[in-house]
């Protein structure tokens, strides 16, 4: 799979540059070692404060702070000082994995892995001759905090919102060990990809 070779090279390069979320590196390596599947853009889950120029203008939005672990109140307060224009949101998002499968049978197996691991928003769709499986959770939180640099909520409410967002993030991340074990079982079924092994040896 030429596409898998390119994806693996990109993954290894991103790991060298420390651009991959640390708490899912082992999981990404496991998934990519399985014959017939590989990952594209993936995230271990995050919480942060986002500024959008207008509703729906996501391509032009900017993160004032974004972390892949629980957010501290003091960090949020400091980040809010950087707000300038647009709507300010607190966002908490669960882990998400994009897994490409070479055929429908493997896509269905990956889809089942996602669902059985507790990621209930897992879906898949055909893309040309391949299939893209999106393993996704349900723990999304978006809370408006203010507009045009002005915070419109009290510190008490901000603390409350951050606490809820952190709880949702930790809850969604708690499913990662189960996801890892289920992909281990899938590897036993599908086997290891020689391409991954060869590229891994080349990187060591």
Domain boundary assignment for the chain: 2-43+97-141+150-203
Mean pLDDT of the chain: 93
**pLDDT, tens digit, 9 for 90 and up, residues 18-39:** 999 999 999 999 999 999 999 9
**DSSP letters along the chain, please?**
-HHHHHHHHHHHHHHHTT-S-GGGHHHHHHHHTBTTEEEEEEE--EEEEEEESSTT-GGG-EEEEEESSPPPHHHHHHHHTT--SSEEEEEEE--EEEEEESSHHHHHHHHHHHHHTT-TT-EEEEETTEEEEEEE-S--EEEEEEETTEE-S-HHHHHHHHHHHHHHHHHHHTTHHHHHHHHHHHHHHH-B-HHHHHHHHHH-
Q: Categorize the per-residue pLDDT at 1 as very low, low, confident or very high, splitting at 50, 70 and 90.
A: low
Confidence of residue 204 (pLDDT cuts 50, 70, 90): very low
Which segment of 1-15, 26-40, 94-108, 131-145 scores lowest on mean pLDDT? 1-15
Q: Is the pLDDT of residue 71 over 80?
A: yes
Predicted local confidence at residue 200, as pLDDT: 72
As a whole number of angstroms, the distance between CA 194 and CA 191 comes to 9
Kindly report, residue by residue over 121-179, the tens digit of the pLDDT: 999 998 877 899 999 999 999 999 999 999 999 999 999 999 999 999 999 999 999 99
Nearest to residue 72, comparing CAs of 183, 166, 202, 177?
166
Share of the chain above pLDDT 70, in %: 97
- In CATH, what class is 2-43+97-141+150-203? alpha beta
Could you write out the three-class secondary structure of 78-97?
Answer: HHHCCCCCCEEEEEEECCEE
pLDDT of residue 55: 80
pLDDT of residue 203: 56
pLDDT at position 188 over 60? yes
Answer whether 94's CB lies under 8 Å from 169's CB.
yes
């Amino acid at each position: 799979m030429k596409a898998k070779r390119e994806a693996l090279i990109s993954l290894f390069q991103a790991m060298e540059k420390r651009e991959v979320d640390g708490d899912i590196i082992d999981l990404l390596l496991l998934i990519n070692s399985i014959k017939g599947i590989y990952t594209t853009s993936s995230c271990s889950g995050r919480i942060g404060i986002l500024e959008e120029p207008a509703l729906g203008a996501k391509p032009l939005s900017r993160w004032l702070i974004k972390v892949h672990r629980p957010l501290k109140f003091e960090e949020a307060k400091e980040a809010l000082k950087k707000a300038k224009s647009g709507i300010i949101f607190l966002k908490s998002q669960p882990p998400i994995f994009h897994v490409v499968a070479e055929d429908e049978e493997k896509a269905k197996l990956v889809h089942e892995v996602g669902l059985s691991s507790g990621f209930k928003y897992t879906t898949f769709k055909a893309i040309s001759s391949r299939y893209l499986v999106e393993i996704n959770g349900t723990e999304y939180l978006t809370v408006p905090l203010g507009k045009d640099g002005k915070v419109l909520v009290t510190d008490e409410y901000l603390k409350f919102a951050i606490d809820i967002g952190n709880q949702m993030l930790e809850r969604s991340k708690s499913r990662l060990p189960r996801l890892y074990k289920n992909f281990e079982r899938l590897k036993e079924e599908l086997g290891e990809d020689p391409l991954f092994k060869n590229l891994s040896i080349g990187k060591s």
